């Protein structure tokens, strides 16, 4: 937001500070010359409206983008943003052929009813009958990849294999999708399998208004019984900022009409749905609470009532690593019985394990399905996941330090040189501030502070930035904007990849003040709230 006059004033101040002719010592003169050139390069970028707009929006990577030399000058920030996005699209299109978007699901059904619902008298004379029999009775594997052909055309190849109680089959599908405009797209699908025969489908998506869209899916399924047509239409509308309403009509093998309302906010997700159809009609309410913690914990529950019976489900999911989310759901139904469903999402892959515990409503099955996963999760989290994530973070930090070691060393040398060059200016600033009982920085430290007793074994990593901060004082004020303080003159990053803070002890009007500020937090001193109470 700085004006051209403010830029010129800052440029002149730094030029006076770093001008090589102001320093007689050969070493200081060399360091001053290097910093003076850096200041000049920065001013060249910021004094030109076009390069400044590019840098303000995209930083150095924007300046390094090829193609700006052919762009007409005197453009607004919005026009420059459009130009940058166009150049990016051209670069992305050159790499389209190398891209895929793999997605997959593996589902393994487990029959564990022998754990809770067995007739012991039938197995008394059978060897090994004392152990419950747990079986895998079904399995499903599906996988899909996307291959962009052009900027508007995409080919999607998918396949699946299923088996249940010794019988199985599979299918393969090819879909061609074309984005026709900013409002819609169309998709043609061709499929074949050993269970259902050839399939031909057409799907169309269209935005009717900015708040309403429609999706239509037509399909022809060829089988030994003849041709089975199907049609599904979904009409959706934004009811408000966080709420969507859906109307669905399905005609074909399982005809039905469905209406649902979905409300999704930062802290909750609510779904209310009702369906009338053949063979199933039901009403369903589902609620999910989203905790605003680091692990993105979610707790959910649902009630579903229909011609098939009643099902109550409750469960939770939690992020266990950067790309993995683990969830467990207990399903209690009449006449379905009790089941435990475990799901692991790893990037774009999903692993699903439904475990059927009993066909009856047994309190013991419900208890173990609820408590068992919790005990196992907390034990695994404490003994395996947490140590693994800690070790992984340390490896990443170490790798980041190694990759940036030479750059950080250079920044450190530049910061130390800047501090030496600032000494004379700081002396004059302190004399002026003392004369008016103004702002004097007594001590200032920047880096990683350890105040939590649980982290007392961690090493404190801070640098002294008293001189650089005093050099920024003007008219008894110090103002820092919302940006990493590692980029300030005389600063550098003492602990790459770790949380940093700035701690300042300063004197104003003869009274001591103290403040601690987060790395990217704006800071303005002096303030009355920073005053140190002499009685305390």
My answer on whether 180 and 91 are in the same domain is: no
Residue 369 lies in a domain: no
Residue 318 lies in a domain: no
| 187 pLDDT tier (thresholds 50, 70, 90) | very high
Write the CATH number for 52.
Answer: 1.10.287.110
* DSSP per-residue codes, 384-444: IIHHHHHHHHHHHHHHHHHHHHHHHHHHHHHHHHHHHHHHHHHHHHHHHHHHTT-EEEEEE
Using alpha carbons, list the distances in angstroms from residue 162 to 106, 107, 116, 143, 457.
Answer: 10, 9, 27, 12, 52
CB atoms within 10 A of CB 483: 12
Which carries the bigger pLDDT value, residue 445 or residue 28? 445
Of the residues 233, 254, 275, the one at which a domain ends: 254
My answer on whether 145 and 81 are in the same domain is: no
Residue 342 lies in a domain: no
At residue 46, the pLDDT reads 86
The conformational region for residue 301 under phi > 0 = left, psi -120 to 50 = alpha, else beta, is beta
- 232-244: per-residue pLDDT in tens? 999 999 999 899 9
Residue 327 lies in a domain: no
| 178 pLDDT tier (thresholds 50, 70, 90) | very high
| 99 pLDDT tier (thresholds 50, 70, 90) | low
Name the DSSP letter for residue 203: E
At residue 100, the pLDDT reads 65
Cα distance between residue 108 and residue 167, in whole Å:
15
| 419 pLDDT tier (thresholds 50, 70, 90) | confident
* Token pair in block for residue 265: 């906010």
Residue 260 lies in a domain: no
Write the CATH number for 222.
Answer: 2.40.160.40
* Token pair in block for residue 212: 């309403």
- Give the mean pLDDT of 471-476: 88
My answer on whether 509 and 427 are in the same domain is: yes
Residue 507 lies in a domain: yes
| 8 pLDDT tier (thresholds 50, 70, 90) | confident
- Give the mean pLDDT of 14-29: 79
- 518-532: per-residue pLDDT in tens? 988 889 999 999 998
CB atoms within 10 A of CB 494: 20
At residue 70, the pLDDT reads 37
Q: Which domain holds residue 428?
A: 407-530
Residue 156 lies in a domain: yes
My answer on whether 58 and 158 are in the same domain is: no
| 69 pLDDT tier (thresholds 50, 70, 90) | very low
3 state DSSP class of 504: strand
My answer on whether 83 and 9 are in the same domain is: yes
Of the residues 198, 221, 254, the one at which a domain ends: 254
Cα distance between residue 246 and residue 261, in whole Å:
6
What is the helix, strand, coil percentage profile of the chain, to 5? 30, 40, 25
Residue 360 has pLDDT above 80, yes or no: yes
**Which among 346, 312, 341, 311 is positioned nearest to 327, based on CA atoms?**
341
Residue 387 lies in a domain: no
My answer on whether 81 and 148 are in the same domain is: no
| 68 pLDDT tier (thresholds 50, 70, 90) | very low
What's the number of domains the chain is made of? 3
The conformational region for residue 223 under phi > 0 = left, psi -120 to 50 = alpha, else beta, is beta
My answer on whether 420 and 517 are in the same domain is: yes
Of the residues 254, 280, 315, the one at which a domain ends: 254
My answer on whether 145 and 59 are in the same domain is: no
The answer to whether the pTM exceeds 0.75 is: no
- Give the mean pLDDT of 459-483: 86
My answer on whether 139 and 91 are in the same domain is: no
My answer on whether 10 and 89 are in the same domain is: yes
* Token pair in block for residue 381: 């989290």
């Amino acid at each position: 937001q700085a004006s051209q006059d403010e830029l010129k004033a800052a440029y002149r101040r730094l030029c006076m500070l770093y001008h090589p002719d102001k320093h007689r010592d050969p070493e200081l003169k060399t360091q001053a010359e290097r910093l003076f050139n850096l200041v000049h390069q920065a001013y060249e970028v910021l004094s030109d409206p076009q390069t400044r707009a590019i840098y303000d929006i995209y930083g150095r990577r924007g300046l390094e983008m090829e193609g700006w030399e052919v762009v007409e000058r005197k453009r607004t920030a919005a026009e420059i943003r459009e130009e940058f996005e166009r150049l990016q699209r051209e670069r992305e299109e050159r790499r389209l052929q190398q891209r895929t978007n793999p997605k997959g699901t593996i589902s393994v059904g487990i029959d564990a009813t022998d754990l809770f619902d067995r007739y012991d008298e039938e197995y008394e004379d059978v060897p090994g009958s004392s152990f419950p029999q747990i079986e895998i009775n079904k399995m499903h594997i599906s996988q899909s990849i996307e291959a962009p052909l052009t900027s508007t055309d995409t080919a999607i190849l998918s396949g699946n294999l299923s088996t249940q109680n010794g019988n199985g089959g599979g299918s393969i599908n090819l879909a061609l999708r074309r984005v026709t405009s900013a409002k819609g797209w169309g998709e043609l699908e061709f499929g074949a399998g050993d269970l259902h025969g050839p399939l031909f489908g057409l799907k169309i998506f269209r935005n009717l208004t900015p708040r309403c869209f429609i999706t239509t899916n037509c399909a022809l399924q060829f089988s030994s019984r003849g041709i089975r047509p199907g049609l599904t239409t979904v009409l959706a509308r934004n009811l408000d900022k966080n709420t969507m309403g859906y109307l669905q009509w399905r005609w074909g093998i399982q005809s039905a009409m469905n209406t649902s309302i979905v409300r999704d906010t930062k802290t909750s997700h609510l779904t209310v749905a009702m369906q009338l159809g053949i063979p199933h009609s039901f009403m369903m309410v589902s609620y999910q609470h989203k905790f605003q913690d680091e692990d993105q914990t979610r707790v959910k529950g649902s009630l579903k009532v229909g011609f098939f019976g009643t099902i109550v489900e409750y469960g939770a999911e939690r992020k266990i690593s950067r790309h993995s989310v683990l969830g467990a759901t207990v399903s209690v139904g009449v006449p379905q019985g009790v089941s435990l469903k475990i799901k692991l999402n790893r990037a774009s892959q999903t692993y699903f394990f439904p475990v059927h515990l009993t066909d009856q409503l047994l309190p013991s099955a419900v208890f173990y399905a609820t408590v068992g996963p919790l005990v196992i999760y907390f034990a695994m989290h404490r003994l395996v996941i947490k140590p693994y994530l800690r070790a992984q973070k340390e490896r990443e930090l170490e790798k980041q330090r190694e990759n940036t070691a030479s750059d950080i060393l250079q920044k450190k040398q530049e910061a130390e040189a800047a501090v030496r060059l600032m000494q004379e200016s700081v002396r004059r600033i302190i004399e002026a501030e003392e004369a008016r009982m103004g702002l004097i920085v007594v001590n200032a430290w920047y880096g990683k502070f350890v105040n939590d007793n649980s982290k007392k074994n961690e090493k404190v990593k801070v640098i002294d930035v008293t001189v650089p901060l005093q050099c920024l004082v003007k008219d008894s004020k110090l103002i820092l904007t919302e940006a990493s303080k590692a980029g300030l003159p005389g600063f550098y990053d003492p602990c790459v990849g770790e949380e940093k803070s700035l701690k300042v002890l300063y004197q104003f009007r003869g009274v001591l003040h103290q403040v601690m500020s987060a790395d990217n937090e704006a800071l303005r001193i002096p303030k009355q709230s920073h005053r140190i109470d002499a009685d305390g």
